[in-house]
């Protein structure tokens, strides 16, 4: 029985949906055709409706996995069960709005942007007044632009809004219900920035350690500045990667909880944070006072961007790039403190990090196999590739140990160590550690990021301590 004849009109972006379909579609187009971004100003010059239509014609969004506002969605289902008329009214393009309505099976009518008219703000208000009359509808919205609609609505439902907007809404319309925004987003920002991933930048200090220069305060300070600069640059890259991988992340068992994929942070804020963090990184790099460091930092970001846009979908090349990005950190550390990177160090790191990159891919495929999936979304891998990846990864790890063994018998090691033969003990320790990492991955117990696993695993930390003691026993000159 219909106890409330007044239709409830519901906004989509930021209200029913904890995301923005225009931004999601633009990011999806940027990922699949990066050069298309140069067409956006031309489309926008013809009107926002034209821009939305052109992007919608070129992009397929994964509607099934979109992050909805669950509390509002439950309320709408209750209203629908009571027989109330529900109208989806959105500035998103009709192509997306119709698919959302079909997916939810809730709305009696869909009003959306078409190729001629952008259904937002005043135009949305005029459309609703024309259909239902002045004060003849209730409206659920979330943004300042929705004030133009609330001025003509009977009642307002305010969703995900700041206190200031709630007050402004109550000044023009009776507020029936408030669906509060999530408390303090700072924790979500810390997750999005992945500060724990900054641990990888400890590699910047490897040239200092290998060159026995950690006790030089001036060089150590340069290393710390380089560490912070790389951290900000990496966080910018992580944000960009998450924004470009929204659909794939939402279908991943763990990545779907990432703040942007889960709708816990606004996509617009993430887009703004990417260049801000990058600018801070390069600003800090100027304090390092090494043009080579800034060049390597730029190269790191370019390769990271290429990885996010294209290379991560190229079979096997993605793991080579990942290994190279780790090695670039070592090269950056060497450039920051003006120490020529050792051939042995670079060769060792390349093979070792290739092994760990293959562990990462192996673990992701293993998880997908357990879910009954046949291939990784957005990747070139099939679950049938597991055995091959394991063989290649183990071989790469053992080659890293071979490089270390050859280094022990080189002139370079004899120039730095009093007893270089003691370093031979590193070889069995690393053989044990690499074998154990792959055994854990084979059992499906590996975190999908083996670097973080290494730094948090008790056995790995013990092996690291043993390696440090072995080097100290070699008595560097």
| Residues 153-179 pLDDT 10s | 999 999 998 888 989 999 999 999 999
Query: pTM of the entire structure?
Result: 0.85
pLDDT at 311: 86
Residues paired with 417 in a beta bridge: 476
pLDDT at 72: 95
For 387, phi and psi rounded to 5 degrees? -65, -40
pLDDT digits (tens, 9 = 90+) for 359-381: 999 988 888 787 777 666 656 78
- Which range, 155-169, 268-282, 303-317, has the best average confidence (pLDDT)? 268-282
- Enter the DSSP assignment of 410: S
- Which range, 195-199, 303-307, 396-400, 473-477, has the best average confidence (pLDDT)? 396-400
Q: Is the pLDDT of residue 476 over 60?
A: no
Categorize the per-residue pLDDT at 183 as very low, low, confident or very high, splitting at 50, 70 and 90.
low
**Percent of the chain whose predicted confidence (pLDDT) is above 90:** 65
- What b/e string do you get for 35-45 counting C-beta neighbours within 10 Å, with b at 16 or more? ebeeeeeebee
374-381: long-range pairs with CB below 8 Å, 24+: 377/247, 377/248, 377/251, 377/252, 378/245, 378/247, 378/248, 378/312, 378/313, 379/312, 379/313, 379/315, 379/318, 380/313, 380/314, 380/315, 380/316, 380/318, 381/315
Question: Mean pLDDT across the chain, nearest whole number?
Answer: 90
pLDDT at 88: 97
Categorize the per-residue pLDDT at 475 as very low, low, confident or very high, splitting at 50, 70 and 90.
low
- Distance CA(65)–CA(331), nearest Å, equals 40
pLDDT digits (tens, 9 = 90+) for 324-356: 999 999 999 999 998 888 888 899 999 999 999
């Amino acid at each position: 029985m219909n106890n409330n004849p007044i239709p409830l009109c519901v906004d989509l972006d930021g209200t029913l949906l904890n995301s923005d379909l225009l931004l999601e579609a633009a990011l999806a187009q940027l990922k699949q055709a990066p050069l298309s971004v140069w067409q956006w100003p031309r489309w926008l010059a013809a009107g926002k409706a034209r821009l939305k239509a052109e992007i919608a014609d070129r992009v397929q969004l994964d509607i099934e996995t979109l992050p909805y506002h669950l509390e509002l969605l439950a309320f709408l289902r209750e209203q629908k069960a009571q027989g109330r008329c529900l109208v989806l009214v959105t500035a998103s393009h009709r192509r997306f709005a119709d698919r959302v309505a079909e997916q939810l099976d809730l709305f009696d009518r869909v009003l959306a942007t078409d190729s001629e008219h952008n259904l937002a703000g005043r135009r949305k208000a005029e459309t609703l007044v024309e259909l239902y009359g002045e004060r003849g509808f209730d409206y659920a919205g979330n943004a300042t632009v929705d004030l133009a609609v609330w001025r003509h609505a009977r009642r307002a439902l305010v969703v995900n809004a700041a206190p200031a907007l709630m007050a402004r809404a109550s000044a023009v319309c009776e507020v029936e219900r408030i669906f509060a925004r999530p408390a303090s987003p700072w924790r979500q920002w810390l997750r999005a920035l992945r500060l724990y991933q900054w641990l990888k930048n400890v590699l910047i200090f490897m040239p200092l350690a290998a060159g026995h220069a950690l006790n030089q305060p001036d060089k150590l300070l340069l290393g710390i500045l380089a560490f912070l600069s790389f951290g900000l640059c990496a966080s910018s890259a992580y944000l960009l990667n998450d924004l470009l991988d929204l659909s794939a992340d939402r279908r991943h068992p763990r990545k779907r909880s990432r703040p942007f994929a889960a709708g816990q942070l606004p996509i617009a804020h993430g887009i703004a944070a990417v260049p801000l963090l990058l600018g801070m990184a390069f600003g800090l790099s100027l304090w390092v006072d090494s043009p080579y460091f800034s060049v390597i930092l730029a190269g790191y970001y370019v390769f990271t961007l290429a990885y996010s846009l294209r290379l991560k979908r190229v079979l096997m090349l993605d793991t080579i790039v990942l290994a190279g990005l780790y090695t670039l950190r070592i090269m950056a550390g060497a450039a920051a403190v003006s120490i020529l990177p050792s051939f042995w160090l670079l060769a060792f790191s390349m093979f070792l990090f290739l092994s760990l990159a293959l562990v990462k891919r192996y673990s992701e495929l293993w998880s997908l196999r357990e879910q009954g999936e046949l291939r990784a979304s957005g990747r070139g891998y099939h679950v049938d590739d597991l055995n091959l990846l394991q063989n290649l990864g183990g071989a790469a790890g053992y080659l890293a140990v071979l490089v270390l063994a050859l280094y022990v018998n080189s002139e370079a090691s004899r120039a730095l160590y009093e007893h270089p033969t003691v370093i031979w003990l590193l070889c069995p320790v690393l053989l044990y550690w690499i074998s154990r990492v792959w055994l854990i991955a084979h059992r499906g117990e590996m975190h999908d990021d083996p670097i973080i696993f290494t730094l948090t695993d008790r056995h790995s930390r013990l092996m690291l301590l043993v390696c440090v003691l072995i080097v100290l026993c070699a008595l560097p000159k």
